């Protein structure tokens, strides 16, 4: 009898969190693109980016968009040839902006610009540049670690063939 109850409990625990999580989990996506160049070629200049926080869910969400605008995303650079990784510094945290929430309706998005400085890439990447840039935003910046619920995206950045 004990084994039967244990098996039943394990089965219920493994099924129900999945069902409930898919219904209550907000579907927020993060997208990134280079503003002036759809191929995102590095020309030893600032890399001007647009980040988009998109609500792909069925319910409106409230996010600290002004905080994102000022603080920026977490950025990791990965050199695709050497495998080396580097982190780009973020802006200063501004806790007073965490309470300024913007509602993003289903199908709507919030976009903001961000710049990666050329020296962040030049001091790190092998030549010719071939990088994967990983971006992350916390859906709840007040929390840390696994509780932060990060949304992420990647962008490929390569050397400008004309500069080779």
Measured CA to CA, the distance from residue 1 to residue 9 in angstroms comes to: 12
* SS3 label, residue 90: coil
Nearest to 59 by CA among 99, 29, 31, 24: 24
Please provide the size of the chain in residues: 164
In the block, residue with structure tokens 């080396």: 84
In the block, residue with structure tokens 């200063």: 92
Q: What is the separation of C-alpha 18 from the centre of its chain, rounded to a whole number of angstroms?
A: 23
- Per-residue pLDDT, averaged over 48-68, amounts to 97
Q: In what order do the strands lie in the sheet with 109-116?
A: 28-34, 47-55, 109-116
Model pLDDT, residue 42? 96
Q: What is the distance in angstroms between the CA of the first residue and the CA of the last residue of the chain?
A: 73
Residue 137 pairs in a beta bridge with: 151
Predicted TM-score (pTM) of this structure: 0.81
Q: Give me the chain's average pLDDT, please.
A: 86
Is residue 54 within 8 A of residue 109, CB to CB? The reply is yes
Measured CA to CA, the distance from residue 45 to residue 62 in angstroms comes to: 35
Domains of the chain with CATH codes: 26-163 (2.60.40.10)
Model pLDDT, residue 77? 97
Model pLDDT, residue 91? 87
Read off the pLDDT of residues 78-135 as tens digits, 9 standing for 90 and up. Answer: 999 999 999 998 888 899 999 999 999 999 999 999 999 999 999 989 999 999 999 9
Model confidence at 25, pLDDT cuts 50, 70, 90, reads: low
Residue 5 has pLDDT above 90, yes or no: no
């Amino acid at each position: 009898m004990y084994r039967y109850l244990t098996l039943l409990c394990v089965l219920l625990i493994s099924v129900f969190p999945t069902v409930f999580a898919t219904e209550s989990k907000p579907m927020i996506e993060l997208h990134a693109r280079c503003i002036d160049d759809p191929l995102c070629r590095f020309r030893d200049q600032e890399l001007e980016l647009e980040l988009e926080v998109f609500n792909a869910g069925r319910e409106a969400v409230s996010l600290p968009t002004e905080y994102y605008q000022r603080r920026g995303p977490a950025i990791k650079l990965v050199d695709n040839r050497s495998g080396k990784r580097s982190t780009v510094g973020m802006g200063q945290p501004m806790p007073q902006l965490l309470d300024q929430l913007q509602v993003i309706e289903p199908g709507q998005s919030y976009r903001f610009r961000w710049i990666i400085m050329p020296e962040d890439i030049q001091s790190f990447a092998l030549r010719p540049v071939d990088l994967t840039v990983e971006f992350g935003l916390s859906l709840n910046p007040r929390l840390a670690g696994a509780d932060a619920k990060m949304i992420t995206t990647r962008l490929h950045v390569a050397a400008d063939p004309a500069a080779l």
